[in-house]
């Protein structure tokens, strides 16, 4: 109820999710054709089409623990829809799901015994956090999967007609349900694979005096490769990439495809390695002891233009440094203290009181950096580039060090001020 109340806040700047352009969309549509309500049963009963958009987290128990998708929320939704519905409905899977999940949803819905008919479609979202509103208005493609039956084709056409109000028909792809479900997992796996690939090369660059940015530019101009997702960094995060790849690994193993599973699991292994080596490099360059040293973190969200911190690289870098008894000072323009401490407490590496004592969160970046031994750039917020770095340098302990985990800052400019700068993929 509290979350729905927040979505109904008179000031749309206070809605629970920060996303550029979202508050404006809510302000324009809320109360007209957009409603936030806790009356779920009534909404289900009234609807012709229902989108299922619940979390499908990685399982933390039982078979598939740590890899498989936990579908309990999907099943609960299906059972609630089956229980409440009195008229025929189209059910649209919007959540990212293992291939053939629609089979389970359909089985629940078709055994209600009340004569209601359901058509189940797959319509995965391909929005990127930070550009979600723009992506919705102008997507590369919309994917809709449905049955080959006459009823299935009619259901798909109904959803096509909705999107066709603002999206050209040629960008709306239709497939069978299973291809649609699998395509979402594969899309995220391919994107994450590119990040891990360039990150693996970044480590090689550091040993050979090559520059990963120059390498990325050189290969990115090849039209067969392209430049997107070739930005070396401390590692990818977010709610999707790791979860979906682990799901793909689990599905592959469940079908006995061990080599396929091993191939995709390596993307995750490389990402974990990148985060860990970034932290270990900081420790090494701070004379192999950071106990009691103040380390400023600029950024905590997994990427810029969002307040989402799920699987953020900052969490795992902080955890490594806290194991060495560092004192961490965090500034992120959109992430609050309770969220940051909650992320660390979730790892259960140490007691919550220890995290609270050793991690301080600031609303002013200059205060966060004051008397720090080093700064770590963990999120690529644009505002970081515009700071008064001379002022920051003057307030730090010397030698003042910057570890740029996003290759965001002008390293040469900072070195002229006096900083010692280490960036990803440069010697």
Nearest 5°: the CA angle 147, 149, 153 is 70
Percentages (nearest 5) of helix, strand, coil residues in the chain? 50, 10, 40
Global pTM value: 0.92
- How far is the C-alpha of 229 from the C-alpha of 190, rounded, in Å? 10
> In sequence order, what are the residues at sequence separation of 6 or more whose Cβ sits closer than 8 angstroms to the Cβ of residue 177?
102, 120, 121, 122, 145, 146, 147
- Provide the pLDDT for residue 189: 98
CB 209 within 8 A of CB 427: yes
- Provide the pLDDT for residue 157: 98
Q: What is the pLDDT of residues 4-18, one digit of tens each?
A: 999 999 999 899 999
Mean pLDDT of 98-120: 91
Mean pLDDT of 345-372: 98
Backbone angles phi, psi at 206, to 5 degrees: -65, -25
Give me the count of residues in the chain: 427
Q: Quote the DSSP letter at residue 95.
A: S
- Long-range contacts formed by 382-391: CB under 8 A, 24+ apart: 382/304, 383/333, 384/298, 384/299, 384/408, 384/409, 385/409, 385/410, 389/413, 389/414, 389/417, 389/419, 390/417, 391/366
Mean pLDDT of 52-77: 94
Q: What residue ranges of the chain are covered by domains with CATH 3.40.50.720?
A: 38-182, 185-265, 289-423
Backbone angles phi, psi at 297, to 5 degrees: -105, 120
Alpha helices in 85-222 (DSSP H): 101-109, 132-137, 150-163, 177-208, 212-220
- How far is the C-alpha of 230 from the C-alpha of 191, rounded, in Å? 10
Q: What is the pLDDT of residues 20-51, one digit of tens each?
A: 999 999 999 999 999 999 999 999 999 999 99
> In sequence order, what are the residues at sequence separation of 6 or more whose Cβ sits closer than 8 angstroms to the Cβ of residue 32?
none
CB 145 within 8 A of CB 119: no
Q: Indicate the pairing of strand 49-52 with strand 89-93.
A: parallel
- Provide the pLDDT for residue 427: 80
Q: What is the pLDDT of residues 241-284, one digit of tens each?
A: 999 999 999 999 999 999 999 999 999 999 999 999 999 999 99
Q: Is residue 112 predicted with pLDDT exceeding 80?
A: no
Please name every residue paired with 122 in a beta bridge, in sequence order, or none if there are none. 93, 145
- How far is the C-alpha of 260 from the C-alpha of 160, rounded, in Å? 34
The DSSP H or E segment spanning 216 is helix 212-220
Q: What's the pLDDT band for 113 if we cut at 50, 70, 90? A: confident
Mean pLDDT of 138-151: 97
Q: Is residue 317 predicted with pLDDT exceeding 90?
A: yes
Mean pLDDT of 336-361: 98
CB 395 within 8 A of CB 370: yes
- Provide the pLDDT for residue 237: 97
Tokens of 53: 């958009």
Q: Is residue 342 predicted with pLDDT exceeding 80?
A: yes
- How far is the C-alpha of 201 from the C-alpha of 115, rounded, in Å? 58
CB 275 within 8 A of CB 302: no
Q: What is the mean pLDDT of the chain?
A: 97
- How far is the C-alpha of 153 from the C-alpha of 176, rounded, in Å? 10
CATH architecture of structural domain 289-423 = 3-Layer(aba) Sandwich (3.40)
Q: ω into residue 131 within 30 of 0, thus cis? A: no
Backbone angles phi, psi at 419, to 5 degrees: -70, 150
Q: What's the pLDDT band for 114 if we cut at 50, 70, 90? A: confident
Catalytic amino acids?
Answer: 125, 184, 240
- Determine the straight-line distance between the first and last CA of the chain, rounded to whole angstroms: 52
Q: What is the pLDDT of residues 181-238, one digit of tens each?
A: 999 999 999 999 999 999 999 999 999 999 999 999 999 999 999 999 999 999 999 9
Tokens of 83: 């229980």
- How far is the C-alpha of 15 from the C-alpha of 300, rounded, in Å? 20
**CATH code of the domain occupying 38-182:** 3.40.50.720
Report percent pLDDT > 70 for the chain: 100
Listed residue (141, 147, 104) closest to 122, CA to CA: 147
CB atoms within 10 A of CB 144: 22
The residue assigned the tokens 């795992």 is 316
Alpha helices in 30-122 (DSSP H): 40-46, 72-84, 101-109
**CATH code of the domain occupying 185-265:** 3.40.50.720
Mean pLDDT of 106-127: 92
């Amino acid at each position: 109820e509290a979350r729905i109340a927040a979505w109904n806040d008179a000031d749309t700047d206070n809605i629970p999710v920060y996303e550029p352009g979202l508050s404006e969309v809510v302000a324009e549509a809320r109360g007209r054709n957009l409603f936030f309500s806790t009356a779920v049963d009534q909404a289900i009963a009234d609807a012709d089409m229902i989108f299922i958009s619940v979390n499908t987290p990685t399982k933390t128990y039982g078979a598939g623990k740590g890899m498989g998708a936990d579908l309990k929320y999907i099943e609960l939704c299906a059972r609630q829809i089956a229980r409440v519905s009195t008229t025929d409905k189209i059910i649209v899977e919007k959540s990212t799901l293992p291939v053939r999940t629609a089979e389970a949803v359909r089985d629940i819905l078709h055994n209600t015994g009340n004569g209601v008919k359901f058509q189940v479609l797959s319509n995965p979202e391909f929005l990127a956090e930070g550009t979600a509103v723009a992506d919705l208005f102008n997507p590369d493609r919309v994917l809709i999967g449905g049955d080959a039956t006459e009823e299935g084709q009619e259901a798909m056409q109904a959803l096509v007609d909705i999107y066709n109000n603002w999206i050209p028909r040629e960008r709306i792809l239709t497939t069978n349900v299973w291809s649609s479900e699998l395509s979402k997992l594969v899309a995220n796996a391919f994107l994450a694979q590119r990040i891990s690939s360039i990150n693996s090369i970044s480590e090689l660059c550091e040993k050979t005096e090559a520059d990963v940015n120059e390498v990325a530019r050189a290969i990115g101009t090849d039209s067969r490769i392209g430049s997107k997702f070739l930005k070396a960094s401390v590692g990818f995060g977010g709610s999707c990439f790791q979860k979906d790849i682990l799901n793909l690994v689990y599905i592959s193993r469940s079908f006995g495809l061990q080599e396929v599973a091993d191939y995709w699991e390596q993307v995750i292994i490389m990402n974990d390695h990148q985060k860990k080596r970034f932290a270990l490099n900081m420790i090494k360059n701070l004379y192999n002891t950071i106990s009691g040293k103040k380390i400023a973190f600029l950024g905590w969200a997994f990427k810029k233009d969002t307040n989402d911190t799920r699987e953020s690289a900052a969490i795992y870098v902080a955890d490594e440094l806290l194991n060495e008894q560092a004192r961490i000072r965090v500034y992120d323009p959109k992430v609050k203290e309770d969220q940051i401490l909650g992320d660390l407490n979730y790892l259960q590496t140490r007691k919550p009181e220890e995290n609270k004592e050793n991690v301080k969160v600031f609303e002013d970046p200059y205060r966060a950096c004051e008397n720090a031994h080093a700064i770590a750039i963990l999120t690529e917020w644009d505002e970081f580039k515009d700071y008064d770095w001379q002022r920051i340098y003057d307030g730090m302990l010397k030698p003042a060090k910057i570890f740029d985990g996003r290759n965001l800052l002008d390293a040469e400019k900072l070195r002229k001020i006096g900083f010692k700068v280490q960036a990803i993929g440069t010697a």
